[in-house]
Amino acid sequence: MNSKFLKSGHIKIYKRENSKFWQMKIKLPKLKAIRSSTGTKILKYAENIALKKFSSLKKYNEIKIKNKSKNIYKKIHLVETEDLNKKEIEFILQEAIKFIKFNKKRIKKNNLLEGRTVFNLFFEDSTRTRTSFEVAAKRLGADLINVAVKDSSINKGETLLDTMTTINSMNPDVLIVRHPEEGISKKISMNVDASVINAGDGSHEHPTQALLDALTIKSRFKNFTKLKIAICGDILHSRVARSNIIILSKLGAKINVIGPKEWLPQNLNKLPVKVFTDMKKGLKNCNIVMMLRIQKERIVGKIMPNEKTYFKKYGLDYNKLQYAKKNAFVMHPGPMNRGVEIDSELADDVTRSLIQEQVAMGVAIRMACLDILIKNRDNVLSY
Ligand code: CP
């Protein structure tokens, strides 16, 4: 025997004249046939090698084929939710849905972004955002470099923009930036040719957080136009609140913001929200209650509320949750302060709390964002 077919003819194992080694030919729909040596003279080993190659190509092909949807978001940066229209938001959510299933597989790896370079540049603490970008990039096959900003040349007086242009000279594909200065990601995006993702700039914006929150809500409700969502707590200092108000209202949800008077920004009247200082009134008929962390690092020099008093008035527990719709869900972007913004038992109650689901959705959203931005940049640069 000098040839054998496997997997309904998708794999052919054969021997060439003058060669002792088994060859393999693998053909999958919409992919060119791959022919190569298996590197072995033993048929059984050759079959195993071909089957492994077949299954990795199949996974790659599934992702490629699923990714054929029309690209609606054509920009190369993601720095402000203000820049996104409803169709673009829906497109990003749709792209991310492909990765939710992928992330539940036993082997979570493909080569969509093989050979691409992504930098994590976090000038502020982070667990969720930094690691989920790292997981996202690695699952797509990209090389991710975590820059240890605390040990960088910024400590020697180098300006932030000089650091960014230095890294940009290494030809990265994406720079992911978290920094306390509002608007810094936009400034960086105008000075580099890599794609820039804003991973949180001061109290201003955190676009991927709002997108992952929207994806979490979409996985439960499908239609945003029938939803009333409460965003509660330290609205003034929260970039999450701002980005969520913009994204969720563009998707059609009604938004109530609830918080102490001193933490409600002056310009709320310019945003499509109803404003409350009372949890009972603000939570009425809400399908989702999104709690916010008190941004202690941004309340420097001001009087902090007593945590017990704050929890009594604004912390979410089972009692206050009763003011919302029956079976309303609870969200929190994290990191959360148990017993300050949210009751610990409620936070862990998987029948009501979507907090861990938000983290899982974060990886899918960030995979989608990396994939979309890198492809858009390829089109602009015409590689
Ligand atoms: N939600 C959020 O941005 O969390 P990290 O600060 O841990 O990234």
Residues 144 and 247 in one domain: no
The number of domains in the chain is 3
Q: Does residue 209 line the site of ligand 1, with CB under 6 A?
A: yes
For position 360, what pLDDT does the model report?
A: 98
| HEC-encoded secondary structure of the chain | CCEEEEHHHCEEEEECCCCCCEEEEECCCCCCCEEEECCCCCHHHHHHHHHHHHHHHHHHHHHHHHCCCCCCCCCCCECCHHHCCHHHHHHHHHHHHHHHHHCCCCCCCCCCCCCCEEEEEECCCCCHHHHHHHHHHHHCCCEEEECCHHHCHHHHCCCHHHHHHHHHCCCCCEEEEEECCCCHHHHHHCCCCCEEEEEEECCCECHHHHHHHHHHHHHHHCCHHHCEEEEECCCCCCHHHHHHHHHHHHCCCEEEEECCHHHCCHHHHHCCEEEECCHHHHHCCCCEEEECCCCHHHCCCCCCCCHHHHHHHHCECHHHHCCCCCCCEEECCCCCCECCCECHHHHCCCCCECHHHHHHHHHHHHHHHHHHHHHHHHHHHCC
Can you tell me the distance from the alpha carbon of 383 to that of 378, in angstroms, rounded to the nearest whole number? 6
Which numbered atom of ligand 1 lies nearest the CA of 333? 1
Q: Is 129 in the pocket of ligand 1 (CB under 6 A)?
A: yes
- Give the residue, out of 120, 124, 126, with the most ligand 1 atoms within 8 A of its beta carbon, to mutate for a pocket test: 126
Establish if 71 belongs to a structural domain: no
Beta bridge partner(s), residue 117? 143
- Span from the CA of 220 to the centroid of ligand 1 (angstroms): 22
| CA 336–ligand 1 middle distance (angstroms) | 10
Q: Find out whether 243 and 207 touch, Cβ atoms under 8 Å.
A: yes
**Ligand 1 centroid to residue 11 C-alpha, Å:** 46
Closest-CA residue, ligand 1 atom 3, reads: 129
Ligand 1 pocket check for 168: Cβ under 6 Å: no
pLDDT beneath 70, residues of the chain: 1, 30, 60-68, 301, 382-383
Statement to judge: residues 289 and 219 lie in one domain = yes
Atom of ligand 1 at shortest range from CA of 178 = 8
Q: Indicate if 197 and 220 belong to the same structural domain.
A: no
- Shared domain for 218 and 342, answered yes or no, is yes
Q: Is residue 184 part of a domain?
A: yes
Residue 223 has what pLDDT?
94
| Boundary (domain end) residue, out of 66, 95, 115 | 66
Q: What is the pLDDT of residue 230?
A: 98
Q: Whose CA is nearest to atom 6 of ligand 1?
A: 126
Same domain, 234 and 338: yes
Query: What's the 26 CA to ligand 1 centre distance in angstroms?
Result: 44
Does residue 376 fall inside a structural domain? yes
Residue 63's pLDDT is: 60
Using the atom order of ligand 1, give the atom closest to the CA of residue 199: 3
Same domain, 175 and 281: no
**Same-domain status, 326 and 280:** yes
CATH number of the domain that residue 375 is part of? 3.40.50.1370
Whether residue 229 is contained in a domain is answered as yes
| Judgement on whether residues 181 and 261 belong to the same structural domain of the protein | no
Does any domain span residue 8? yes
Residue nearest to atom 5 of ligand 1 (CA): 126
pLDDT at 152: 76
Residue 144 included in any domain: yes
Residue 259: both structure tokens together: 């918080």
Domain with 296, as residue range(s), is: 207-354
**Token representation of residue 281:** 């009134």
Domain assignment present for residue 285? The answer is yes
* Predicted pLDDT at 65: 53
Q: From residue 332, how far is each of 176, 241, 256, 316 by CA, in Å?
A: 22, 11, 16, 11
What is the whole-number distance in angstroms between the Cα of residue 170 and the centre of ligand 1? 27
Q: Which atom of ligand 1 lies at the shortest distance from residue 130's CA?
A: 8
User: How distant, in Å, are the alpha carbons of 17, 90, 136 from that of 102?
Assistant: 42, 19, 11
Asked if the structure places residue 74 within a domain, the reply is no
Residues 372 and 350 reside in one and the same domain: no
What pairs with residue 196 in β-bridges?
Answer: 175
In angstroms, the CA 140 to CA 301 distance is 44
Amino acid 278: pLDDT: 98
In short, whether 333's Cβ falls inside 6 Å of ligand 1 is: yes
197 and 276 belong to one structural domain: no
Domain boundary among the residues 43, 66, 89 is at 66
Same domain, 187 and 232: no
Does the beta carbon of 127 sit less than 6 angstroms from any atom of ligand 1?
Answer: yes
**What's phi and psi for 2, nearest 5 deg?**
-120, 15
Phi/psi of residue 196, each to 5°?
A: -120, 130
The answer on 212 and 350 residing in a single domain is yes
Is the beta carbon of 334 within 6 A of some atom in ligand 1? yes
